[in-house]
Amino acid sequence: MSFFRIFRSQPVLRRKIILWGIILILALILFWWWYQNFKQRLEILKKEEIFEEIKPEFKKEELKPLFEIKEKTQKLKEIFE
């Protein structure tokens, strides 16, 4: 409580300087935290891009069951429409 008494007893200009200083310090801390998270997300994105570049090519025979499923779902949609 004594901190608040001392703070209130200061002139208005000094109180404003102290409050803006606290706000500035908090803003810098939050910006640093945001920057670290942003940097980490960029690294994750780069890893995903690398996977897309190295993505193996599938043979058409391997994808045939997927096309069959797609055809069956289209037929079901037609039936229910």
Q: How many domains does the chain have?
A: 1
Residue predicted with more confidence, 53 or 20? 20
Per-residue tokens: 45: 């994105």
Query: Which pLDDT value is given to residue 43?
Result: 83
Q: Model-level pTM? A: 0.49
> Which residues constitute the domain of residue 13?
2-80
Q: Is 35 exposed, middle or buried (0-12, 13-18, 19+ CB in 10 A)?
A: exposed
**How many angstroms from the chain centroid is the CA of residue 1?**
40
Contact, 64 vs 71, CB < 8 A?
no
The gap from C-alpha 47 to its chain's centroid, in whole angstroms, comes to 15
Joined together, the tokens standing for residue 3 give 């901190």
Give residue 1's identity as a one-letter amino acid code.
Answer: M
Lowest mean pLDDT among 8-22, 30-44, 47-61: 47-61
